[in-house]
Amino acid sequence: MRAAQGWNDYELIDASSGNRLERWGGHVLVRPDPQVIWNTEKRDRRWDDADAVYHRSSNGGGSWEYRHSLPDEWQIEWNGIKLYVTPTNFKHTGVFPEQAANWAVYEELIGSSGREIKVLNLFGYTGAATLACLRAGASVCHVDASKGMVAQARRNAALNDMSGLPCRWIVDDCMKFVLREARRGSRYDAVIMDPPSYGRGPSGEVWKYEDDIFDLVTACVGILSDDPLFFALNSYTTGISPSASGYLLSEAMKTFPGDVRSDEIGLTVSRTGFVLPCGNTSLYIKR
């Protein structure tokens, strides 16, 4: 498993009884996590003194219990990239810190390629991967079905003085966009894909990972350049193993000379040294 590195403003302090105890800059949150199936003695007083605790509802969703005053948003930084943190009613904060394990890889691959790289970032969320690629010198097309998430990604770009860098910000259903790019003859040297388990597009399009992922990956292969640098496929879907994702990507990329590696990514728990699993990544890299 690869643990995310480079964080000073984020810390997974402890994990126990189905919950994470996390420090986001100067604020401490407790959020549920189904991977935390162990119980340990909660020695850290911040379990009881966290600024906010997210409680799941038996009817789905949930809500925050605010124990101390908390701003609507604040900033954290990863390796010089600043990001807004915004707790939402769906427990998320606008940043998936475990993905830093991949942001560093994208930067390294682009920076060492010695050529111009055009990246397609699908399900781009609030743009941390996009910013890492832009900083490395790539041009990026950032696509997400949520208008609000794309707006937040653009705010993150502005926060880092990257608004003037070559990036297209697109609100669209990812499959529809890729098919249009194919008709236009557009080509990309790298693809990053971070799809949800389930979601809806801006016009009500239904996305289900198990049913739709292979068709989307295959469509993306159709708009790759003749010499693609990398293809990253992330999965948070329960029951989808790193091996399964790796086999899918290997099959899709079989005509290109490269190698696929698949592994879990995670976050180191400060108190115990455990690495909490947070999904998996399959990565094709040109040989």
Residue 90, domain member (yes or no)? no
Q: Tally the C-alpha atoms within 13 A of residue 223's C-alpha that lie toward its C-beta.
A: 24
134 and 44 belong to one structural domain: no
**Helix (H/G/I), strand (E/B), else coil: 186:** coil
Please give the residue range of the domain that contains residue 32.
2-71
pLDDT value at residue 69 = 94
151 and 57 belong to one structural domain: no
Which of 28, 53, 71 represents a domain boundary (last residue)?
71
Which of 71, 86, 117 represents a domain boundary (last residue)?
71
pLDDT value at residue 240 = 93
144 and 263 belong to one structural domain: yes
Residues 6+ apart with CB under 8 A from 146: 171, 202
Which of 53, 71, 89 represents a domain boundary (last residue)?
71
Q: By the 8 A CB rule, do 60 and 112 touch? A: no
Residue 86, domain member (yes or no)? no
Q: How many domains does the chain have?
A: 2
62 and 105 belong to one structural domain: no
Within 10 Å of residue 45's Cβ, how many Cβ atoms?
Answer: 8
25 and 164 belong to one structural domain: no
Residue 77, domain member (yes or no)? no
Residue 80, domain member (yes or no)? no
Longest dimension (CA), the chain: 58
148 and 223 belong to one structural domain: yes
269 and 235 belong to one structural domain: yes
**How big is the CA angle at 81 (ends 78 and 84), to the nearest 5 degrees?**
85
Helix intervals (H) in the chain:
46-49, 100-111, 128-135, 147-159, 174-184, 209-221, 242-252
Task: Provide the residue type at 125 as one letter.
Answer: Y
Residue 15, domain member (yes or no)? yes
67 and 101 belong to one structural domain: no
pLDDT value at residue 281 = 98
Q: Tally the C-alpha atoms within 13 A of residue 94's C-alpha that lie toward its C-beta.
A: 25
* % helix, strand, coil for the chain, step of 5: 25, 35, 40
164 and 33 belong to one structural domain: no
Residue 84, domain member (yes or no)? no
**14 φ, ψ (degrees, to nearest 5):** -155, 165
pLDDT value at residue 134 = 98
Residues 6+ apart with CB under 8 A from 4: 97, 98, 99, 100, 101, 265, 266, 267, 268
pLDDT value at residue 238 = 85
Residues 6+ apart with CB under 8 A from 136: 106, 107, 108, 110, 111, 117
- Give me the residues of the chain with pLDDT under 70, please: none
Distance (Å, rounded) from C-alpha 25 to C-alpha 3?
Answer: 19
CATH of the domain at 39: 2.60.40.1180
Distance (Å, rounded) from C-alpha 239 to C-alpha 220?
Answer: 24
Distance (Å, rounded) from C-alpha 186 to C-alpha 1?
Answer: 35
67 and 182 belong to one structural domain: no
CATH of the domain at 238: 3.40.50.150
186 and 267 belong to one structural domain: yes
Residue 102, domain member (yes or no)? yes
pLDDT value at residue 201 = 79
pLDDT value at residue 224 = 98
pLDDT value at residue 70 = 96
24 and 162 belong to one structural domain: no
Residue 89, domain member (yes or no)? no
